[in-house]
DNA sequence: GGCTGGCACTCACTACACTGGAGTGCCAGC
DNA sequence: GCTGGCACTCCAGTGTAGTGAGTGCCAGCC
């Protein structure tokens, strides 16, 4: 349930290792300082206001005075976990601060009963096509976390053609359709120069089906050469064109991304520094392909959290992603995740993502 | 090119009829007052600042002093075309003011050369599946107008099944696929309690295809009863289940809506009074079905403009829609349109929507 | 040595008064 | 019927305190 492949630092007794601290001092922070950080993060996530030492001390969990908290905050700031927006304001967590929080305090894996129930109800319901299920899952996750959510479909690469056919829509317009093993359907329109008769289309469809059935969608089916004896050159030619059209399209076909709750980004606009950040993010989402590539990296980990500057993409510098892969049958499926401002309730997001990924995987595999 | 079915009021010489004016006086506004309104609208659209009498007079088109403009503005305000945000500010157009502007000054139908060229280039390019074309068209329209754009697909009602089949994805998971005459594909997964063999699936597929081919997608195909002699009861049963699944789904299947450039709503947030307006709109867009129903009403008109309160939906009260239907073959296709804040460049939007609708119709019909 | 209370200091935020300017309505005169 | 002039309104911007939350530092206490 932890994120990243980092040794889990000890919190009790021994000093917490500030492994990523930018300071060259190699200083560590102790247990109470970590608790202060925790209090600051929780408070800041709740209120969006810089948190002062008095607030933390008054909360009373630590049993120390505000002066002591102040001293700890000074250290936490020196070590890069907190920053002050300006002198005489409270402190705000840095990306590094969130990272420590996530690694130490967000990983207890408690899933709220309400979340668990909502997920169960959702997956108990009927869903038709794969696309619908994934799409609705993204909305479920958005509802649970109150952030935008993504569901990346199973990778297209592993799909195999289960059926292929050519259908006449209009006299000169044909549709080439391939049903893939992952439940998706590839289609391509084919416009002809002259009318074709039904028999030729049917023959071509049969040729195409025979040639493509069972073929992997990548390393695509070789177009059947002018085969089939000299029987029907027109049909054979048509089948070849159909195969080519499919191959050209399927080859560059990226995994589909379903985004739910993108509207929440508008509400989160105030959490971003640049005024057009939310707009840029929405644009990024609209370019599905580019967006999918940003989510792909997770595959091995259980749940991965990427906080602010840990993201490479410029647009995501002020965002956090909580991602988890889900299995599909015995192989790997896709990814589900949540993204919002770094000021995010990581515990809730982690719990929701984990449980949804797990249930979605079971649903798709069972 | 005009909107609504309202007699085009005379502007030259005769007084312009203030047909929708809320005042009981039945007063009319004259040509110069209309020109003042025009100047206010154009200026306000450009600057988003209330427009004062001095600004209009200084622009010089009218050749009258600011005092005269002031008098006209007073009348325009009394008649409901303008409002003052507060005393001693300039004037801002009302929905009624925009309506007059659209009816009188936005209808000259001049399409900028750049727009025309961009549209030509777009439709000259190759597009594969119908869905892709419509999706990309919505982005084209968004780019041209700098607002969010919608493209509603051809109505599903008129579609006819051109092919139907059942494909095995996994031993117990089947996919029922129907290719429709409008180029779309309906699919449904079917989960079985026991494994089936390929022969049964193939037989069921043949039965289904025979039964559904040519049937209208509405008033849906009656599931073939336990027919086909006693030959293969399992196949016949399977075909019936497939047909039922398709019918259940296709019956409630709404026309698809493609939205492009929704991210622009975030930038337009400042044009809305309520802070969460943009968020509400994005939510509305996410619920495709609900959104589509708001766009459907246009069918007869050439280009329709709905301004602010002319929209019935509560969420659209501060939005304007510019919509135009496009033909598909000989029947009616779908709708293309643009939507943004009432403070919108209507001339540009009208021109872009008209030309895109026309070219899209030709492309789909030719 | 580490926690604590106390204290001086910083600085954003708010309230308030003041001013400049854009805009208005009205009116007498051409 | 248009125009210039004039008094008035009121937003927006600026300068000035006052307030309070928060900080850093330090001496003292356990």
Nearest to A321 by CA among A340, A336, A302, A297: A340
- The angle formed by the CA atoms of residues B267, B269 and B270, to the nearest 5 degrees, is 100
SS (H, E, C) A165-224: EEEEEECCEEEEEEEECCCCEEEEEEECCCCCCHHHHHHHHHHHHHHHCCCECCCCCCCC
- Please, which residues 171-200 of chain A have a Cβ atom closer than 8 Å to chain B? 173, 175, 177, 179, 181-183, 185, 187-189
The CA distance from B97 to A202, in Å, is 60
Q: What is the pLDDT of residue A2?
A: 40
Q: How far apart are CA A134 and CA B137, in angstroms?
A: 25
Instruction: Check residue B195 and give its pLDDT.
Output: 81
Q: Which of A208, A214, A242 is nearest to A227 (CA)?
A: A208
**Percent of chain B residues topping a pLDDT of 90:** 38
Q: How far apart are CA B22 and CA A158, in angstroms?
A: 65
Question: Which of the two residues, B36 and A129, has the higher pLDDT score?
Answer: B36
Chain B residues within an 8 Å CB radius of A138? none
Whether B13 shows a pLDDT value over 80: the answer reads no
Contacts of A265 in chain B (CB under 8 A): 266
Whether the Cβ atoms of residue A77 and residue A65 lie closer than 8 Å to each other: no
Average pLDDT of B359-365?
86
Q: Do B288 and B254 meet the contact criterion of CB atoms below 8 Å apart?
A: yes
The answer to whether B43 CB is within 7 Å of strand C is no
Q: Are strands A148-152 and A257-260 parallel, antiparallel or unpaired?
A: antiparallel
Q: What confidence tier does B348 reach under pLDDT thresholds 50, 70, 90?
A: very high
Query: What is the predicted pLDDT for the residue at A40?
Result: 94
In this prediction, residue B300 carries a pLDDT of: 67
Where is pLDDT greater, at B351 or A223? B351
- pLDDT class of B366 with cuts at 50, 70, 90: low
pLDDT value of position A86 = 86
The C-alpha atoms of residue A20 and residue A236 are separated, in whole angstroms, by: 63
CA B62-B66-B71 angle, 5° bins: 95
**More confident of the two residues A193 and B221:** A193
Contact B128 A189 (CB under 8 A): yes
Q: Give A108 or B177, the one with higher predicted confidence.
A: B177
Average pLDDT, chain B: 82
In angstroms, the CA B100 to CA B79 distance is 12
Digit-coded pLDDT (tens) for B47-81: 999 999 999 998 878 888 889 999 999 999 999 99
Which residues in chain A are contacts of B281 at CB distance < 8 A? 263
A266 with B269: Cβ contact below 8 A = yes
- The reply to whether A234 touches chain B by the CB within 8 Å rule is no
CA-to-CA dists, residue B16 to A109, B30, B32, B102, B104, angstroms: 70, 5, 10, 14, 10
Element (H, E) at B247: helix B233-251
**Cα(A301)–Cα(A103) distance, integer angstroms:** 14
- What is residue A257's three-state secondary structure? strand
Percentage of chain B exceeding pLDDT 70: 84
- pLDDT for the residue A298: 63
Are the beta carbons of B263 and A245 separated by less than 8 Å?
Answer: no
Are B176 and B184 within 8 A, CB to CB? no
Residue A20 confidence (pLDDT): 42
Of A291-305, B135-149, B187-201, B260-274, which range is least confident? Answer: A291-305
Determine the pLDDT at residue A260. 93
Closest CA to A167 of A129, A213, A204, A207: A204
Give φ, ψ of B24 to 5 degrees.
-80, -10
Which of these, A296, A334, A361, A301, lies nearest to A159 by C-alpha position? Answer: A334
Interface test with B, best of A266, A275, A283 (most B CBs within 10 A): A266
User: Are A169 and B183 a contacting pair at CB < 8 A?
Assistant: yes
Burial B22-37 (b: 16+ CB within 10 A, else e): eeeeeebbeeebbbbb
In the Cβ-directed half-sphere of B166, how many Cα atoms lie within 13 Å? Answer: 38
> Mind telling me how many Å the CA of A85 is from chain B's nearest CA?
25
Q: Which tens digits make up the pLDDT trace of B252-264?
A: 656 778 999 999 9
For residue B231, what pLDDT is reported?
54
CA–C1' B103–C30 (A)? 38
Mutate to test the interface with A, among B127, B146, B169 (most CBs of A within 10 A): B169
For residue B251, is pLDDT > 70? Answer: no
Per-residue pLDDT at B222: 59
Instruction: Answer yes or no: do A279 and B267 touch at CB < 8 A.
Output: yes
**CB of A202 less than 8 A from some CB of B:** no
B86 touches chain A (CB under 8 A): no
Rounded Cα gap, residues A355 and A361, in angstroms: 10
Confidence of residue B229 (pLDDT cuts 50, 70, 90): low
Cβ–Cβ < 8 Å for B350, B344: no
Q: Are strands B148-152 and B257-260 parallel, antiparallel or unpaired?
A: antiparallel
- Per-residue pLDDT tens for B334-344? 899 999 999 99
CB atoms A128 and B245 under 8 Å: yes
Residue B329: closest CA among chain A residues belongs to which residue? A170
Alpha helices per DSSP H over chain A: 31-47, 53-59, 66-78, 95-105, 113-124, 130-145, 198-212, 233-251, 264-267, 277-286, 288-295, 346-365
In order of their start, the domains of chain A are 31-105 (1.10.10.10), 113-155+255-365 (3.30.450.40), 157-251 (3.30.390)
- The C1' atom of C21 and the CA atom of A147 lie apart, in whole Å, by 46
| Closest residue to A129, CB basis, from B139, B168, B189 | B189
* Protein residues bordering strand D (Cβ below 7 A): A 50-55, 66-67, 70, 73-74, 77, 84, 87-91; B 32, 63-65, 67-68, 71, 86-89
Neighbours of A330 (CB within 10 A): 6
**pLDDT tens digits in sequence order for chain A, 366 residues long:** 444 433 333 343 344 544 444 443 445 778 899 999 999 999 999 999 999 999 999 887 888 888 999 999 999 999 999 999 888 888 999 999 999 999 999 877 688 999 999 999 999 886 667 788 899 999 999 999 999 999 988 877 777 889 999 999 887 888 999 998 878 888 888 888 888 888 888 888 988 888 888 888 776 665 555 554 545 778 888 888 888 888 877 656 567 789 999 999 988 888 887 778 888 899 988 888 778 777 766 666 688 999 999 998 888 999 999 999 998 777 778 899 999 999 999 999 999 999 999 999 888 876
How close is the nearest chain A Cα to the Cα of B187, in Å?
6
Return d(Cα B47, Cα A277) in angstroms, integer: 23
Residues of B in contact with A286 (CB under 8 A): 139, 260-263
Instruction: Provide the 3-class DSSP secondary structure of residue B353.
Output: helix
- CB-based contact, A271 to chain B, within 8 Å: no
**Residue in the structure block whose two tokens are 């203030």:** B18
Tell me the C-alpha to C-alpha distance, in Å, between residue B267 and each of A281, B283, B291.
Answer: 12, 16, 21
For residue B133, the distance in angstroms to the closest alpha carbon of chain A comes to: 11
Question: Which positions ≥6 away from A315 have C-beta within 8 Å?
Answer: A277, A280, A281, A284
Closest CA to B336 of B311, B362, B355: B355
Task: Mark residues 329-358 of chain B whose C-beta is closer than 7 A to nucleic acid strand C.
Answer: none
* Per-residue pLDDT at A330: 73
Structure confidence at residue B23 (pLDDT): 40
DSSP-H helix ranges across B87-168 = 95-105, 113-124, 130-145
Q: Is A328 on the interface with B (CB under 8 A)?
A: no
Largest CA distance in chain A: 93
- C-alpha dist (Å) from residue B38 to B2, B32, B66, B274, B349: 16, 10, 15, 27, 17
Residues of A in contact with B264 (CB under 8 A): 279
Whether A315 has its CB under 8 Å from any CB of chain B: the answer is: no
Decide: helix, strand or coil at residue B362: helix
Band (B298; pLDDT cuts 50, 70, 90)? low
Q: Can you give the distance from the CA of residue B65 to the C1' of nucleotide D4 in angstroms? A: 9
- D7 C1' – B97 CA distance, angstroms? 31
């Amino acid at each position: 349930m932890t994120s990243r492949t980092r040794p889990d630092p000890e919190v009790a007794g021994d000093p917490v290792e500030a492994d990523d601290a930018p300071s060259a001092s190699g200083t560590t922070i102790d247990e109470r300082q970590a608790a202060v950080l925790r209090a600051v993060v929780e408070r800041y996530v709740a209120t969006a206001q810089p948190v002062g030492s008095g607030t933390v001390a008054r909360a009373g969990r630590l049993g120390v005075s505000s002066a002591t908290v102040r001293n700890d905050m000074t250290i936490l700031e020196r070590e890069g976990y907190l920053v002050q927006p300006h002198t005489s304001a409270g402190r705000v967590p840095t990306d590094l601060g969130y990272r420590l929080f996530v690694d130490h305090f967000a990983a207890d894996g408690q899933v709220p009963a309400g979340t668990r129930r909502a997920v169960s109800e959702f997956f108990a319901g009927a869903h038709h096509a794969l696309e619908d299920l994934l799409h609705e899952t993204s909305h479920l996750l958005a509802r649970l976390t109150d952030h935008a959510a993504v569901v990346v479909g199973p990778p297209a690469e592993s799909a195999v053609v289960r059926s292929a056919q050519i259908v006449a829509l209009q006299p000169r317009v044909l549709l080439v359709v391939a049903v893939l093993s992952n439940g998706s359907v590839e289609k391509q329109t084919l416009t002809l120069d002259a009318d074709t008769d039904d028999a030729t289309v049917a023959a071509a469809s049969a040729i195409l089906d025979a040639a493509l059935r069972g073929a992997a969608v990548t390393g695509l089916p070789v177009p059947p050469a002018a085969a089939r004896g000299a029987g029907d050159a027109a049909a054979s030619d048509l089948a070849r064109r159909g195969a080519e059209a499919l191959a050209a399209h399927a080859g560059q076909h990226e995994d589909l991304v379903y985004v739910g709750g993108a509207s929440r980004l508008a509400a989160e606009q105030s959490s971003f520094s640049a005024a057009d950040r939310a707009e840029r993010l929405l644009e990024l989402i609209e370019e599905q392909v580019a967006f999918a590539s940003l989510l792909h990296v997770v595959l091995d980990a259980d749940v991965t959290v990427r906080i602010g500057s840990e993201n490479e993409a410029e647009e995501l510098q002020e965002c956090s992603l909580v991602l988890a892969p889900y299995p599909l049958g015995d192989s790997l499926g896709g990814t589900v995740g949540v993204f919002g401002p770094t000021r995010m309730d990581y515990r809730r997001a982690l719990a929701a993502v984990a449980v949804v990924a797990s249930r979605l995987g079971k649903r798709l595999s069972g």
